[in-house]
């Protein structure tokens, strides 16, 4: 939401800024102090930068994530009290025996609009501009890209703290190269990212500690989730006037769980990295509010998946892959205004993209090919299928999977792939559900899933192709 603040004749502040100031309540005068001070600066871009930060501040703040029971009550739990992820999971299961099903949810939110200080915001603007104007590799960075990818004072929902100085001090000890001054931003950015990635290591225990850590916490613990590590690298890059963004996929398309990472961007705010698994969708965390997101389209009484409720992310899949727009006729009537395209992850169909569902049709934009999908609707408790699963081929063709019992599979090796063995269970996707397989004649064009008993259900679904078993 960038805008020109060249004229203030009609009212004190631009419309978007005035709206944010109203939401700030008692903190309005604090934010107006920032606006007054930057407007008086010799560089008019300072005021425009302050307007950008304040106008888009609405959805930003420190989120404390806690454990919640079915009644919405918080249940005390801290994964960091345990030495391993398995020990923390065992404690979680014990709590569920006492309290019933548990989930993570936001229990407290400290809104930036209502809590940020003028000194903090002005210092952040000063430091960002100083780096942008003084470092040779930052000369190519356009103002709009600077606002979105260098200027923001936070990377996600972590506690607020002035991280730029800390990062600059740490990077000052990084071995320098005489060529850095002449190198492009990509080369310098890679060196800074490599140095910062050494500051914090990954620990799977933090899968059960989803509250984002601040930089001081991360440097003290030396451990975090991939989102935490991505934040640290983002801090270091932005402190050095390198355009950087945190990209993520909510669910891998061919693997369990999700991932977040930092990417160095060019002067126009574009960039990508090579991924080690296949993503159906890649999203980028933004500071600016994204008015075309689902968060702005739905009404409060319409259930939507939690990760889609944010107002500050945008689809950048096309920066990573050659993408395909997928138009579908929904085979089952939907009770919702929105339909979702889902990938299979950790034993469930997980929504990865959304579309308005008008007249029984949906259009899912910029999808990655070579992926297994299922159209569905979100009920609040999960996904209900709105059609058959299908493989989106690289050429844009949708190969729908529906068992053909009149064309049984004859190949002995393929038949063996779905034969129960006493150690695992085999399921066939049929009529919108995983159905235990007990038949003899193996149907063709079917989707299968073999699950080892006692596993975490991370096994991948598969199809029986002419070339053999293909995992999705």
pLDDT of residue 303 exceeding 60, the answer is: yes
Residue bearing tokens 């002449």? 182
Average pLDDT on 378-391 reads: 94
pLDDT of residue 98 exceeding 60, the answer is: yes
More confident position, 6 or 131: 131
pLDDT of residue 467 exceeding 90, the answer is: no
CA distance 450 to 427: 6
The structure tokens listed for 18 are: 């005035």
Can you count the helices (H) and strands (E) in the chain?
A: 13, 24
Q: Give the HSE-up count for residue 95: Cα atoms under 13 Å, Cβ half-sphere.
A: 19
Return residue ranges of the chain for CATH 2.60.40.
294-400
pLDDT of residue 11 exceeding 70, the answer is: no
CA distance 29 to 44: 21
Kindly indicate the confidence band of residue 132, based on its pLDDT and cuts at 50, 70 and 90.
Answer: very high
pLDDT of residue 233 exceeding 70, the answer is: yes
The CB density around residue 123, as the number of other CB atoms within 10 Å, is 15
> Which pLDDT score is estimated for 73?
95
Kindly indicate the confidence band of residue 466, based on its pLDDT and cuts at 50, 70 and 90.
Answer: confident
**For the whole model, what pTM was predicted?**
0.89
Kindly indicate the confidence band of residue 412, based on its pLDDT and cuts at 50, 70 and 90.
Answer: confident
> Which pLDDT score is estimated for 415?
86
Residue 207: closest CA among 257, 249, 254, 157: 257
Q: What tens digit of pLDDT does each residue of 14-54 get?
A: 999 999 999 999 999 999 999 999 999 999 999 999 999 99
pLDDT of residue 243 exceeding 70, the answer is: yes
Average pLDDT on 332-340 reads: 91
> Which pLDDT score is estimated for 197?
94
CA distance 132 to 456: 48
> Which pLDDT score is estimated for 440?
81
> Which pLDDT score is estimated for 175?
61
Kindly indicate the confidence band of residue 10, based on its pLDDT and cuts at 50, 70 and 90.
Answer: very low
The CATH code of domain 294-400 reads: 2.60.40
Q: Which spans in 150-211 are helix H?
A: 163-171, 185-196
> Which pLDDT score is estimated for 381?
86
> Which pLDDT score is estimated for 174?
73
Residue bearing tokens 């501040």? 57
Residue bearing tokens 């989803």? 210
Q: Is 76 exposed, middle or buried (0-12, 13-18, 19+ CB in 10 A)?
A: exposed
CA distance 44 to 51: 11
- What is the chain's length? 472
For residue 73, report the phi and psi dihedrals to the nearest 5 degrees: -90, 140
> Which pLDDT score is estimated for 3?
43
434 close to 349: Cβ distance less than 8 angstroms: no
328 close to 345: Cβ distance less than 8 angstroms: no
Q: Which spans in 172-249 are helix H?
A: 185-196, 215-221, 226-239
The structure tokens listed for 430 are: 């049929």
Residue bearing tokens 């259930």? 303
Q: Give the HSE-up count for residue 56: Cα atoms under 13 Å, Cβ half-sphere.
A: 25
Q: In what order do the strands lie in the sheet with 244-249?
A: 259-264, 244-249, 283-285, 313-315
Helix 28-39 vs helix 44-55: angle between axes, to the nearest 10 degrees? 160
169 close to 215: Cβ distance less than 8 angstroms: no
Average pLDDT on 207-229 reads: 95
> Which pLDDT score is estimated for 173?
80
CA distance 442 to 204: 40
CA distance 280 to 258: 11
> Which pLDDT score is estimated for 411?
84
CA distance 434 to 451: 11
CA distance 47 to 85: 47
> Which pLDDT score is estimated for 75?
97
Element (H, E) at 147: helix 143-149
Q: What tens digit of pLDDT does each residue of 135-185 get?
A: 988 988 999 999 999 999 999 999 999 999 999 999 988 765 544 544 567
């Amino acid at each position: 939401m960038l805008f020109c603040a060249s004229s203030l004749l009609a009212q004190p502040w631009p419309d978007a800024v005035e709206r944010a100031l109203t939401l700030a309540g008692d903190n309005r005068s604090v934010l107006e102090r920032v606006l007054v001070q930057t407007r008086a600066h010799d560089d008019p871009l300072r005021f425009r930068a302050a307007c950008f930060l304040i106008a888009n501040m609405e959805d930003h703040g420190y989120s404390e994530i806690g454990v919640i029971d079915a009644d919405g009550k918080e249940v005390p739990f801290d994964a960091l009290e345990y030495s391993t992820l398995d020990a923390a999971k065992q404690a979680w299961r014990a709590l569920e025996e006492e309290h019933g099903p548990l989930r993570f949810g936001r229990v407290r939110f400290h809104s930036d609009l209502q809590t940020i200080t003028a000194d903090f915001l002005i210092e952040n603007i000063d430091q960002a501009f100083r780096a942008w104007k003084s470092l040779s590799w930052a000369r190519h960075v356009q103002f709009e890209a600077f606002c979105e990818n260098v200027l923001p004072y936070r990377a996600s929902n972590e506690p607020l703290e002035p991280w730029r100085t800390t990062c600059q001090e740490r990077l000052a000890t990084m071995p320098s190269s005489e060529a850095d001054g002449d190198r492009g931003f990509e080369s310098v950015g890679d060196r800074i990212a490599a140095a910062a990635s050494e500051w914090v290591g990954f620990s799977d225990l933090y899968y059960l500690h989803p509250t984002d850590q601040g930089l001081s916490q991360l440097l003290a613990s030396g451990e975090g989730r991939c989102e935490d590590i991505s934040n640290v690298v983002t801090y270091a890059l932005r402190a050095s006037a390198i355009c950087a963004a945190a990209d993520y996929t909510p669910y891998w398309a061919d693997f369990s769980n999700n991932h977040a990472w930092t990417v160095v961007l060019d002067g126009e705010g574009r960039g990508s990295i090579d991924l080690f698994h296949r993503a159906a969708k890649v999203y980028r965390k933004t500071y600016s509010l994204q008015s075309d997101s689902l968060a702005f389209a739905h009404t409060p009484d319409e259930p939507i998946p939690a990760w889609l409720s944010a107002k500050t992310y945008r689809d950048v899949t096309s920066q990573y892959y050659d993408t395909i727009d997928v138009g579908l006729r929904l085979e089952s009537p939907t009770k919702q205004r929105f339909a979702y395209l889902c990938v299979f992850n950790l034993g469930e169909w997980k929504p990865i993209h959304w579309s308005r569902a008008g007249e029984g049709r949906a259009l899912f934009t910029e999808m990655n090919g070579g992926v297994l999908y299922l159209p569905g609707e979100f009920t609040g408790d999960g996904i209900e299928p709105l059609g058959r699963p299908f493989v989106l081929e690289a050429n844009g063709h949708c190969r729908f999977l529906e068992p053909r019992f009149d064309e049984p599979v004859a190949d002995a090796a393929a038949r063996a792939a779905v034969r129960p063995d006493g150690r695992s269970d085999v399921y066939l996707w049929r009529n919108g559900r995983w159905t235990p397989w007990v038949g003899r004649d193996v149907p063709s064009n079917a989707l299968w899933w073999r699950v080892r008993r006692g596993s975490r259900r991370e096994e991948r679904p598969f199809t029986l192709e002419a070339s053999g078993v293909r995992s999705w």
